[in-house]
Amino acid sequence: MEQNQSALATEKLGKLMGRYAVPCIISLLVGALYNIVDQIFIANASYLGSYGNAANTVVFPLTVIALAVAVMIGDGCCAFVSLSLGQGSKQAAGNSVGLSVGMTVVSGLLLCAVYLAFSTPIITVFGGTVNEATFALSKEYFFYITLGIPFYMFGQALNPVIRADGSPKFAMAATLLGAALNIVLDPLFIFCFHWGMMGAAVATVIGQIATALLSLWYLPHCKSIKLSKRDFTWNPKIAGRTLSLGICSFLSQISLVASMAAVNNMIRKFGALDPIFGQALYAQIPMAVVGIVMKVFQIVISIVIGMAAGCIPVVGYNMGARRPDRVQGLFSLLLTCEAAVGLAALLVVELLPRQLTGIFGSANESVYYTEFAVKAFRVYLCMIVFACVNKATFIFLQAMGKAAASTMLSMIREFVFGVGFALLLPPFFGLDGVLYSMPVSDILTAVISAGIIAATYRQWAAQRKAVGAGGLDGGRAAWDSISGSQFNRER
């Protein structure tokens, strides 16, 4: 394992990125398939159709809330463990893992209880009252999905921890097992047993339980960290540092929830004023369509996040080892790759929107469904290249320990711009205003991200200059200033 850790400071960056990012990308893609697969099978079930699709869109943000808490704990632990191992402190790394397990279990049970107690008002807040059929299906799907929340959170929180321990392939396999079960069980429960929304949810929960159990099995088999009872002892300093490193991931997801809530409610409000979608027969279509577009975007963003998150152990280790040259090289490589992914995605959504819509059951729907879906794909995702680069910047800054800058960018994108424009534009442009909110938000965020990226490169240049002028000690002092991390002082 020591040899594996030292490779983080010596192996070629492209090879390291591939080794860590590919399993992470696959893990996230497979995780994204849980909700996407549900929606595909729901959409193609004639007795559910766009009503079931709309219900899935209503419930989706509620699963993101659970994910937000899980990734705050898991990503924070991943970053802390990587920094600790880079500085040779296995004890602190082990304590962070133990505390993360406990925090995940407790938060999962609490969130499950809250969801069960307040299901009706929660569904209403996220636009479930667009019509009676959508509301009924939303409640059915939400109830069974809620029962799996503790398992879902455990698997999602442990996934980045397992990657940080040097086992990205195992992390991928754990997620793959759950998604495979979901893919197999969905058609069985929906088409053969005719369990409807309950069937889709139960298939998902069974997959989540499998992932959680496999992740639990891994804990006593960690490679670089040997957990003991004392690692589960409460340590407020390490717990606080772990959560602070993951706060960006939490705020990114939670602000996304706020954005989705705003979008869903604007769709419900301004859809009712539309001459076509104001009719009861078509009222659910805009919400179902935007949900589909968001699922396709989720596939792309899973690749983007996977590439960036896969770099976290490499960045963290080299930050701890004071290797700014490797950190800068990796950042440049990552931005190039993320822009390429965004460009490929842009070509797909602009040239093949009808084909994408067809995957989600458009053959069973009216012409209004397809027409609105084509417009939604082409408008909502027209600035997806910027969205990809923005997301990579958020995560890389977090991996460097720049939690404040990362959190600020994420909050501005999802809450200030995402919620703000979703509320401001529809009064002027109707339903089209909801679609415009996404590209406008991505353009403005990209401008801010460009400024932070440029400042980061200038800081790296200053650090190299300090090394030349002041020797090793001067370079290290400059590096500690650049990293923005209090890690060394807290240790």
For 306-362, what is each residue's pLDDT tens digit? 888 888 778 877 776 777 778 888 888 999 999 999 999 999 999 999 999 888 876
pLDDT at 213: 97
CB 166 within 8 A of CB 81: no
pLDDT at 277: 93
Contacts of the segment 340-346: beta carbons below 8 A, 24+ positions apart:
341/300, 341/303, 341/304, 341/307, 341/388, 342/300, 342/304, 342/384, 342/385, 342/386, 342/387, 342/388, 342/389, 343/385, 345/300, 345/381, 345/384, 345/385, 345/388, 346/381, 346/382, 346/384, 346/385
Domain extent for 92 = 11-483
Model confidence at 485, pLDDT cuts 50, 70, 90, reads very low
Q: What is the mean pLDDT of residues 248-276?
A: 85
Q: What is the mean pLDDT of residues 29-53?
A: 82
pLDDT at 480: 56
Give CA separation, 209 vs 178, 214, 216, 220, 296, in Å: 7, 9, 10, 19, 25
Residue 488 domain flag: no
Tokens of 315: 């960045």
* pLDDT tens, residue by residue, 64-110: 899 989 989 998 998 888 778 777 788 888 899 999 999 999 999 99
pLDDT at 488: 44
Its pTM stands at 0.77
Residue 192 domain flag: yes
Q: What is the mean pLDDT of residues 431-451?
A: 95
Residue 102 domain flag: yes
Model confidence at 137, pLDDT cuts 50, 70, 90, reads very high
- Within 23-166, strands assigned E span none
> Does residue 249 surpass a pLDDT of 90?
no
Model confidence at 468, pLDDT cuts 50, 70, 90, reads low
Other Cβ atoms closer than 10 A to 361: 24
3-state secondary structure of 273: coil
Task: Return the DSSP state at 425.
Answer: S
Residue 146 domain flag: yes
pLDDT at 20: 80
> Does residue 475 surpass a pLDDT of 60?
no
| Number of domains the chain contains | 1
Residue 230 domain flag: yes
End-to-end Cα distance, the chain: 23
Residue 3 domain flag: no
